[in-house]
Amino acid sequence: MIARKSFPAMLLLLLIACGGREKDDERPFVYFRNYSRTFNDMHEKHLAAATLRGITPIASVEEIGKASRPLKKITSGRRYQVDKLTHSIPYLVPEARDLLEEIARNFQDSLKAKHLPPHALIVTSLLRTKNDAERLRDGNGNASARSAHLFATTFDIAHARYAPLGKKTTTVDKLKSVLAGVLKDLRDRRRCYVRYEYKQICFHITVR
């Protein structure tokens, strides 16, 4: 008799517990704030890290094989896609390539943990040759003559564009917030410098 009487109570407790977990899964999304204030590493920091770890700048793509350090070619995959490059070429030093892979992997893991559909990142700029830098300056007077991109340590990831990996998608603001959280964690761990570029619509990232 005691067991039969306690069964409804146990069932009620189980339903309440399950309902509580469901509410936890549906808790409101927390948006990242203060992008410019958080990711404010200035050009000098990026350049110092780039010159310490990167290659000696090369004049053109024909000099890839003569670079002072081995370079890794960056190609599109499931986690990130290389955009159509107009002023850079798809190469990075191994440490920068590993950082890009880690960012993309952590981004996917974070989307999954937050119950958001998978999306690939879009890489918009990588290694610039001296010729690339000169052409960029011709069209953009604000472009630096000594960019960290010249050293193959630096890459840009779009913060307003993502490639859905299925039929489901979500808002750009949510994807941007997730990416910012990933970058803040790596920056706090002294893995990279990051600058939030508003006009270029990207995160400018240099491996440390």
With a cut of 50, say whether residue 17 has pLDDT above it.
no
DSSP 39: S
3-class DSSP string for 136-187: HHHHCCCCCCCCHHHHCCEEEEECCCCEECCCCCCCHHHHHHHHHHHHHHHH
Least confident of 7-11, 117-121, 145-149: 7-11
Cα 61 to Cα 35, 65, 75, 129, 144: the distances in Å are 34, 9, 16, 7, 20
Q: Are strands 163-164 and 119-125 parallel, antiparallel or unpaired?
A: antiparallel
Q: Facing residues of 196 across strands? A: 203
Predicted model pTM? 0.85
Q: Identify the residue with better confidence: 194 or 141.
A: 194
Q: What is the pLDDT of residue 135?
A: 87
